[in-house]
């Protein structure tokens, strides 16, 4: 499968809360960019592909609220721990300037 991303993705573990219409799921990012997130959760996200979701990311002393769209979701197993989870790709549709600056700073330090 070819990768059509235009943004560099950083391997970064950040705590994420994904919510929509009363549904909340906690997760952990594997990688992040200005335009998307790869998140592992413990449960499947019951959202159609085109649903907008709210994403709350906690990073050190900062919290970012983003909006995004679930692009794909599939069950997976963490190779290092053997734990089962659900891998999810999220396209960011609305990001705050603070989140974009946070990603830029991580890119510069990488």
pLDDT tens-digit map of 30-87: 899 999 999 998 887 766 655 667 888 877 778 888 888 888 888 887 777 777 788 9
Q: pTM score, two decimals?
A: 0.81
Instruction: Tell me how far the alpha carbon of residue 36 is from its chain's centroid.
Output: 6
72 is written with which tokens? Answer: 């794909």
How far is Cα 98 from Cα 2, in angstroms, rounded to an integer?
A: 30
Q: Regarding predicted confidence, which is higher, 63 or 5? A: 63
93 neighbors 67 (Cβ within 8 angstroms): yes
Domain assignment of residue 48, yes or no: yes
**pLDDT confidence of residue 93:** 92
Q: Which two tokens stand for residue 100?
A: 């974009």
46 in a domain, yes or no? yes
By residue range, what is the domain housing residue 46? 10-109
Contacts of 64 (CB under 8 A, 6+ apart): 56, 57, 95, 96, 98, 99, 102
In a domain, 2, yes or no: no
Task: Report residue 31 as tokens.
Answer: 């990688």
Question: Residue 1: pLDDT band by 50, 70, 90 thresholds?
Answer: very low
According to DSSP, residue 7 is labeled S
For residue 103, what pLDDT is reported?
Answer: 92
Does residue 1 lie within any of the structural domains? no
């Amino acid at each position: 499968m070819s990768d059509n991303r235009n943004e560099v993705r950083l391997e970064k573990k950040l705590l994420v809360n994904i919510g929509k219409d009363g549904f909340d799921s906690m997760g952990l990012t594997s990688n992040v960019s200005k335009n998307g997130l790869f998140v592992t959760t413990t449960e499947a996200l019951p959202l159609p592909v085109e649903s907008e979701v709210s994403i709350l990311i906690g990073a050190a002393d900062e919290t970012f609220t983003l909006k995004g769209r679930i692009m794909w979701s599939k069950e997976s197993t963490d190779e290092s721990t053997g734990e089962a989870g659900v891998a999810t790709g999220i396209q960011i549709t609305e990001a705050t300037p603070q989140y974009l600056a946070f990603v830029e700073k991580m890119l510069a330090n990488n």
